[in-house]
Structure 1
Amino acid sequence: MSGHEQAAELPVIAAEVPRNLEAEQAVLGMMMRSKDFIAEAVEAIRPADYYRPAHELIHCAVLDLYAAHEPVDPFTVAAKLTERGELVRCGGVNYLHSLVNNARSIAHAARMLGRVRETALRRRLTEAGLRIDELAQSETPIDDVVAAAVAEVFAATDQDPTATVANLADVMEGALDEIEAIGTVGSPSGIPTGFHELDQMTGGLRPGQLVVIASRPAMGKSTLALDVARSCAIHHKLPALLFTPEIGRNEVAMRLLAAEARVPLHLLRSSNMTDDDWTRVARRMPDVSEAPLFIDDSPKLTFTEIQAKCRRLRQRNDIRLAVVDYVQLLDYGLRRFQSRYEEINEISRHLKILARELEIPIVLLSQLNRGPEHRIDKRPQLFDMRDSGTLEDDADLVIMLHREDAYEKVSPRAGEADLIVAKHRGGITGTITIAFQGHYSRFVDMVRERSLPEQQHGEADEPTEPARPTE
């Protein structure tokens, strides 16, 4: 008999589910004896942390009585469970009395709280492991399996009820540091976008923000997003992550070189570069090559993959910004939805949660509906996003990109673009005019008051020039 045949005959031993019924009983007994302990229990565990379903029902009944400022004891809990038709399932009045009678002390029950929480975590990890194993044995693509496995582990361990609670004194220290940095340095406290007026208006892109850049097709929103990533990674040496399902990594590299070296993009794609062009490229190549910019050009990108990769690179490389181009190209992942509208809603909501979790700004690109094309001035409005689900609600900052010359070939505003800050949670809104240099694949400030990287290498800055046809 071969080794494989012997292994196949070995019995499969099911792992015992982690549980501690004694600890659960001690906690519930003390909750029915001391209202002070109820508050402690609420901060430490959740109803779903109990292994025995009956204990979860008792816990919920206690919480309902506590919230209604009613007495909490075996009699009132029994009455509440009877009202819900759950008393028999919970062992009856005698069981409730036994829980109270066997409760020792608040100190002992507090230790038992820790054990209930620990066994619940072990149980969730065990369940996550089973789901991961099932996926690994299926025909699911391996990249999806890896992304789902990471998501499962994070979901299983991200269950601390007190994680969002902070003492105001601790919060104020960080807030004062941020205020002081703004006042003394005079620069954005968040990630600089590379556009002076926009940074002045917003303070830069803040940790935890979901920033939506929206426009009709062919306005240059991918170029604008790349400008933001370029400012972060090349000009300020802050690690950034760029997701570009539609644009390959080589194309991204060429656009970065064109923007930084001020060499027309179509020349980089051809063999017509002059010696001066090569000199410009060579001068900027080291800074571009050494920039901490990570590019993911997976053609079929899912939110699950974005979540896993952002978490991994945040942990390993301390990324400070993530850019996703664009939401209408994404799938959620392994979950299925009744409509595309519902799926985009879920992607938007979870990207906002991810930004808060990782404490980085996430820039999400989105296409607008056809509303602007039916208006005389073609300018986008905030309600043009409504066909994209809850993006408007989830976003902290909404920047709409508009170019008049995209509609009028002969325009007095040729080469100009408007950044319409249509939503700014906790801040001002308005319109900022910048210049579009499509031949360099970049946007720039209309009046550049600060030195650019080219100047640092001894080159004089050039005046803002009108756009040429986009390559």
Structure 2
Amino acid sequence: MIEEKLPPHDIEAEEAVLGSLIIDGEAIHKIAIFLKPEEFYREKNLWVYEACFSLYERNEAIDQVTVAHELGRLGRLEAMGGAAYLSHLVSMVPTSVHIEHYAHTVHRLSMMRGLISASSQIAAIGYEAGPDIDVALGRAEDTIFRLRRGESRRDFLHIRQLLRDFEESEIALPTMEGRVVGTGFPALDGILGGLQRSDMIVLAARPSLGKTSLALTIARNAAVEQKARVAIFSLEMAREQLVQRLLASESGVDARRLRLGEQTEAEEGRVTEATGVLSEAPIYVDDSPILRMVEIRSKARRLHFERGIDLIIVDYMQLIRGDGREGRVQEVTEISRSLKGLARELDVPLIAVSQLSRAPEWRASHRPQLFDLRESGSIEQDADVVIFIYRDDMHYSKEEWLRLHPDKEDNEYPKGIAEIIVAKHRNGPVGTVNLRFRERTVKFEDLGSEVPA
């Protein structure tokens, strides 16, 4: 007969945590951020910590009298052993100096119990008849990922706790640069406030307007200038092409000459220097041409845990493969929602490059509008930020442009000038920034000119 094992736990460590809190209520500030009431194994210990936690959330003192009163208010004082049990807890430790050690023990053992529970859930997934293997693996990964993040029991939080968490993050990371990845373009960052964590930023344009180039320029600026860790899913472009673009942009060498190996000796030196700069940049590239959303999520999670991620770029989202069971519009809707979910899950900004339909070409004004995205599922709805790229010089010759703008001079023709249109910004202003696009080196540069919305 197999001996039944008790789940991992340490009652003495639990009691030491509680005794430390009753002796020194201020010690809860050291552990409240990671130790939650449900992590206690013994129910009456959970009740005592819950009482301490409630007092903490109300900014009230924690001591033997207040804890007893709170337990009484909740109708649990007698059930957990009354004042005698609280006195027993106080006797467990002489001071609160080791509370973090005891709390980490309780937390670790709770995670082990969660792992046991997760293994049962994963086994159940394996026994279910007929699921797609990728779907099954995705569900299993979801189970472990929630456990890693301590979200197996994610629930409503009072606004007080949310405010406290925000204040703690402000203290830990006092400057914007420490918390937010910038685009590297001051005028654009002035509108966006940088790329905010958990935001999905849709970067959309018609073909050949520089969507990939702008995404790569932002990736380069983030990784080289800010040392941000960038993950790029390049579904359209092979990694060799992507590297050539990055080298051309960094070195200033013509991309075509670089591709054909026709650099001069001086240019070779610049390419070597650019190679040194980029090799130190924390940029990670996956150029799998056919990826399903479950694979993107799995790869991003793995990289996030192994290396850490500060920014994800997906180029481009319409190339993500659907399951084939529904129409393409519905598939794109599911992909869009999944990308937004991934940004929230990993708490990083995610740039989703998107191809626009021909609709803008048929209008008198070729500038893209938000409704141009509405044919593509729920992209507009899911996006926190929508950025369009528009160039007059791609639609009008100089002669045509001057006829449309009779008040302009020849030298004002916007050759190589791209309008970066922030058409949607869920938490801030919209507006337009002009950038120069260097086609030879496939690089965007900041002009510093902003046109308010």
Matched residue type, 2:224: I
Residues 194, 228 of structure 1: 8 Å contact kept: yes
Offset from partner CA, 1:209-247 (integer Å, 9 cap, x none): 111101112211111111111111122221110000111
Partner in structure 2 of residue 159 of structure 1: 152
2:291 is aligned to 301
Corresponding residue for residue 358 of structure 1: 346
**2:196 aligned residue (202, 206, 220):** 206
What CA deviation, in whole Å up to 9, does each residue of 1:312-358 have, x standing for no partner? 111111110000011111125xx564222222212211221221121
User: Is 1:189–1:204's contact at 8 Å kept on the other side of the alignment?
Assistant: no
The percent of aligned pairs where both chains have the same amino acid is 35
Report the Cα distance in structure 2 between the residues aligned to 1:283 and 1:374, rounded to whole angstroms: 45
1:373 Cα offset (Å) = 1.0
| Letter in structure 1 aligned against 2:280 | E
SS in structure 2 opposite 1:131?
helix
Tell me the residue number matched to 1:429.
Answer: 430
1:415, CA displacement in angstroms?
A: 0.5
Q: Distance in 2 between matches of 1:267 and 1:336?
A: 41
Pair 289,133 (structure 1): closer, same or farther in 2 beyond 3 Å? farther
Match among 178, 198, 205 for residue 215 of structure 1: 205
Name the SS for the 1:263 alignment partner. Answer: coil
Q: Distance in 2 between matches of 1:163 and 1:234?
A: 39
Residue in structure 2 matching 1:131, options 122, 125, 132: 125
Work out the CA distance in 2 between the residues paired with 1:421 and 1:284.
Answer: 31
Partner of 1:245: 235
> In 2, are the aligned partners of 1:211 and 1:395 still within 8 Å (CA)?
yes
- Local SS of the residue matching 2:288: coil
TM-score between the two structures when normalised by the length of structure 2:
0.66
Find out whether 1:407 has 2:395 as its counterpart. yes
Residue in 1 aligned with 2:249? 259
SS in 1 for 2:375: helix
The equivalent of 1:86 in structure 2 is none
Which of 310, 316, 323 lines up with 1:320 in the alignment? 310
SS of corresponding position for 2:440: helix
Give the whole-Å Cα distance in 2 for the aligned partners of 1:104 and 1:122: 31
Q: CA deviation at 1:149?
A: 4.3
Partner of 2:418: 417
Residues 297 and 170 from structure 1, CA distance in 2 versus in 1: closer, same or farther, beyond 3 angstroms? Answer: same
Contact 1:405 1:413 in 2 (8 A): yes
Deviation by residue 1:4-24 (Cα, 9 ceiling, x = unmatched) = xxxxxxxxxxxx9x99xxxxx
Instruction: Name the amino acid aligned to 2:145.
Output: F
Q: Kindly tell me: are residues 145 and 121 of structure 1, through their superposed partners in 2, closer, same or farther at Cα, counting changes over 3 Å?
A: closer
Q: Which amino acid aligns with 1:326?
A: Y
Question: Distance between the aligned counterparts of 1:179 and 1:430, measured in 2?
Answer: 28
| Unaligned 5+ runs, structure 2 | 8-35, 39-75, 82-110, 402-412
Deviations 1:375-422 (A, max 9, x none): 222000111110111111111111111112222243521110011001
Contact 2:223 2:282 (C-alpha < 8 Å) held by counterparts: yes
Mean CA deviation greater in 403-412 or 203-212: 403-412
Matched, 1:377 2:371: no
Match of 1:230, SS?
Answer: helix
In 1, the alpha carbon distance for the partners of 2:359 and 2:131 equals 44
Aligned pairs for 1:1-400 within 5 A: 107=80, 122=116, 125-132=119-126, 149-154=140-145, 158-162=151-155, 167-174=161-168, 176-177=170-171, 181-182=175-176, 190-332=180-322, 337-400=325-388
Report the TM-score when normalising by structure 1: 0.64
Change (3 A) 1:208 1:164: farther
User: Does the 8 Å CA contact 2:198/2:343 hold for their aligned counterparts?
Assistant: yes
RMSD, matched Cα: 3.7
CA distance, structure 2, for counterparts of residue 193 and residue 206 of structure 1: 11
Aligned 1:436-451 pairs, distance under 5 A? 436-447=437-448
Larger CA deviation: 253-262 vs 408-417: 408-417
Deviation of 1:168 (Å): 4.5
Give yes or no for contact 1:188–1:200 (8 Å, CA) kept in 2: no
Structure 1: segments with no counterpart, 5+ residues: 1-15, 20-42, 46-102, 109-116, 449-471
Residues 49-93 of structure 1 show CA distances to partners (whole Å, capped at 9, x for unaligned) of xxxxxxxxxxxxxxxxxxxxxxxxxxxxxxxxxxxxxxxxxxxxx
**Paired letter, 2:197:** P
1:263-318 per-residue CA deviation (whole Å, 9 max, x = no partner) reads 01001111321111111111221111121100000011111111111111111111
Q: What code does the residue aligned with 1:442 have? A: K
Matched residue type, 1:323: I
Quote the residue 1:87 is aligned against. Answer: none
Alpha carbons 1:216, 1:368 under 8 Å: kept: yes
Question: Structure 1 residue 162: deviation in Å?
Answer: 3.3
Q: What amino acid is aligned across from residue 424 of structure 1 in structure 2?
A: H
Measured in 1, the distance between the counterparts of 2:126 and 2:219 equals 34
Q: 2:71 corresponds to which residue?
A: none
Aligned residues: 339
Deviation of residue 207 (structure 1)? 1.0
Query: Tell me, what secondary structure is at the counterpart of 1:310?
Result: helix
3-state SS of 1:444 partner: strand
TM-aligned CA distance change 1:152 to 1:341, over 3 Å? farther
